[in-house]
Structure 1
């Protein structure tokens, strides 16, 4: 399957998103920057997406979305504290 990434503005939801799409243009996942409440969320609209594509979506979103409309920077990545 061929995947693509696109940046999309959403006036109704007051924000900007980076979308992962398939070759038909169907949106499979999205990272959305909501400027109304300065939140950043990921939504998955398809099952069994390759991890590498989801990871790339998040990395592209970090580069493309930069900061909220009011200039507030995006939240920093969380530090993982995993114990086995």
Structure 2
């Protein structure tokens, strides 16, 4: 199965996300940067995603989401 990644802005939730999408366009997982409360969250919308895809999504989000809207840096990795 071929997956793709896309960046999506969400005005209602006040932030930006990197999404993992399947071949028919269904969003399977997301890393979301909330500019309102300076948080990063990971949401999985299906069970049993391969770890390698989740890992790639998280690593891509670190790069693609950059900084919060006010210029504050993302939280440092643990």
TM-score of the pair, normalised by structure 1: 0.91
Matches within 5 A, 1:4-83: 4-78=4-78
Q: What CA distance in whole angstroms lies between the structure 2 residues aligned with 1:76 and 1:46?
A: 27
Q: Extract unaligned runs of 5+ from structure 1.
A: 79-84
Deviating above 4 A after TM superposition, structure 1's stretches of 4 or more consecutive aligned residues are none
Provide the aligned length of Structure 1 versus Structure 2: 78
| Bigger Rg, which one | 1
Q: What CA distance in whole angstroms lies between the structure 1 residues aligned with 2:60 and 2:25?
A: 18
- TM-superposed CA distance for 1:2, in Å, is 1.2
C-alpha RMSD of the superposition: 0.5
Q: Extract unaligned runs of 5+ from structure 2.
A: none
